Amino acid sequence: MKIKAGIIGATGYAGAELVRILLTHPQAEIAAVSSVSFEGKKLSEVYPSYASLCDMECKNQNEAVEKSDVVFAALPHGLSQELAAQCDKAGKAFIDLGADFRLESEDEYKEWYGGEFLDKDLHKRAVYGLPELFRETIQGEKIIANPGCYTTGAPLALAPAVKNGLVGTEGIIIDSKSGVTGAGRKPNQGNHYPELNEGFHAYKVANHRHTPEIEQTLSKLSGKNVKITFVPHLLPVNRGIISTCYARLNDGVTKEQIRKVYEDFYRNEFFVRLLPDGANADIHNIKYSNFCDISLHIDERTRTLVAISAIDNMVKGAAGQAIQNMNIIFGLDEKAGLLIVPPAF
């Protein structure tokens, strides 16, 4: 019997991507889709590319919860906590693609998102769903905080070096560039075509909400309190995030040692592809897939590790990772439904 999945917020970009991937999942099926903006409309009316593939009508979220074994919430922050409680009471697995359960500190959540924890016990039980780093804590759990795009690509680039003490935990700089789908489907001046096309700019410099989430992950790995400088940029492309991460090498650490640590760390991780020396991670090569490509570079003059990761922000940075988490909590092959080959051109 297939796992029944409900998607709340199915008409946003992340929700629509969940539909695209789940339609070909061998062990799961879409039981219901929900949308406040398009309730009563068929999903294929909102996204004509889904015609005859998913003509389901967008229902209210209560119906999606009732019909499903697992509920995916692709909603803006602040809208998932009550839904999580509803799913928990009904015994449903809940995977939140928003930010409501990602931060462990309520003070940080208040500072960066302006909200509070409505059910502190529920937050204590929620686990952070970055499988390559925290797989053991995800297995068998029912409330999963699915990491976002920046908070997936950058930590994966730095994790082996930070965890194994190869780099200093002070002065880490993360310079990321994202495709415009990361801003969501609702249009605004920043993602309006004439404003975006042939432009390239930084935004929320050293003040982006993903900063404490990245610090939380790196601090857990290192056992120290890590502070970073994080600067995101907006690329005039639809998909992809490339994160260039700079960290000072500790005394005596060699290029060969860095390479071996990364190879050992990711040896059994199907979705992380460690590129050979001389190669550069490129968003072109991971588009539409759940892969994270990582390239390693050493600036010998300044003793700096430059670790670069590339992911598709809508897949490994959102929907694909959510489905990877679903596979883990239901004991499926982690790759189920996610063997998506990036296009060659």
- Dist CA 14 CA 20 (whole Å): 10
Could you confirm whether 149 is annotated as catalytic?
yes
Between strands 3-8 and 28-34, the pairing is parallel
114, amino acid identity: G
The DSSP H or E segment spanning 32 is strand 28-34
Cβ-Cβ contacts under 8 Å for 83 (sequence gap 6 or more): 8, 61, 65, 71, 73, 75, 94
Task: Retrieve residue 173's tokens.
Answer: 């700089």
Give me the count of residues in the chain: 345
- Dist CA 17 CA 23 (whole Å): 10
Task: Retrieve residue 255's tokens.
Answer: 């290029």
149, amino acid identity: C
Which among 54, 58, 87, 149 is annotated as catalytic? 149
In the block, residue with structure tokens 């889904």: 50
- Dist CA 286 CA 305 (whole Å): 23
- Dist CA 298 CA 170 (whole Å): 18
**Which residues are designated catalytic?**
149
